[in-house]
Amino acid sequence: MMVRGIRGATTVEHNEANEILRATTELLTQIVAENGTVPEDICSVFVTTTEDITATFPARAIRQMPGWELVPLMCALEIPVQPSLPKCIRLMVHVNTEKRQNEIRHVYLNEAKILRPDIAGQSASAK
């Protein structure tokens, strides 16, 4: 078994707690579904946001998901390089898996699809 990183990103329209929590839940739920994993397989989740997201910690959404109480989480700010995509939440999910690197499905939703157009279309249900 190896540890692999699964990337994901999404955006919100407003710096509002409920929207941030909803978007984070949606992103992580899709990452897990697309990669056929469960919380027990997750080593940790690194969460970053752009500096314009201040209404709540996105990790709060993950903590509220059933089965995720023991998964280590860390939040940080993205480097504010200009121009960068505003109101963006990114996840790096570290997972124990037998999958090869090319079998991992990274998930980009909403405006975040522009960050990695080369892999954004990989997911079965990219929005």
Active site residue 7: yes
Q: The pTM is what? A: 0.92
Question: How many domains does the structure of the chain reveal?
Answer: 1
**Does residue 98 lie in a domain region?**
yes
List helix spans (H) across the chain: 17-35, 59-63, 117-120
**Does residue 8 lie in a domain region?**
yes
Query: What is the tens place of the pLDDT at every residue in 28-54?
Result: 999 999 999 999 999 999 999 999 999
Residue 96 corresponds to which tokens in the numbers above?
């124990």
Which candidate in 4, 88, 90, 105 is catalytic? 90
Could you give the 3-state DSSP secondary structure of residue 61?
helix
Domain that holds residue 47: 2-120
Nearest C-alpha neighbor of 31 from the set 15, 46, 16: 46
Active site residue 63: yes
Q: How many CB atoms lie within 10 A of CB 2?
A: 10
Q: At a CB cut-off of 8 Å and minimum separation 6, what does 42 contact?
A: 68, 71, 93, 94, 95, 96
CATH number of residue 112's parent domain: 3.30.1330.40
Which candidate in 4, 7, 19, 103 is catalytic? 7
**Does residue 73 lie in a domain region?**
yes
**Does residue 96 lie in a domain region?**
yes
Query: What is the tens place of the pLDDT at every residue in 1-23?
Result: 899 999 999 999 999 999 999 99
